Amino acid sequence: MLIRLTPTHESPLHEQIAGAVRQGILDGSLANGERLPAAKALGESLGVSLHTVLHAYQDLRSQGLIELRRGRGAVVIAPAPAVRDHALHILDDAASQLAGLGLSAETILALFRQRLEKETAV
């Protein structure tokens, strides 16, 4: 897993780390059950604090993408490939239709976030 951080980027470092792991899960380069690097080791290799990596791992855990297991570290709990592929198909259709309405990417993302927050609040 290759993670590149851009200190001058508008996103905080923990979000950049979480985004790289999330992308690896979505593209299949990180498989279900795969262990992520220890937070301390990853922090040292990226030149960031242990707490920055732990913040990223906590975010991924709250999104249901990893489990944090005492003594075993962070483990990927990726959806099955068929589920992931089906979800991506749904998102492709929705994005295409919404873009066809002339909505900006920012507006589409805001609408998705709003709906997801509504669904998870139930």
What's the pTM value of the predicted model, to 2 decimals?
0.71
Read off the tokens for 58.
Answer: 């906590």
Amino acid at 65: L
Amino acid at 20: A
Residue 65 contacts residue 78 (beta carbons within 8 Å): yes
pLDDT in tens, 7-54: 898 999 999 999 999 989 888 889 899 999 999 999 999 999 999 999
Question: 82 pLDDT exceeds 80?
Answer: no
Question: 81 pLDDT exceeds 80?
Answer: no
Question: 119 pLDDT exceeds 80?
Answer: no
In Å, the largest CA–CA distance within the chain is 50
For residue 121, what pLDDT is reported?
66
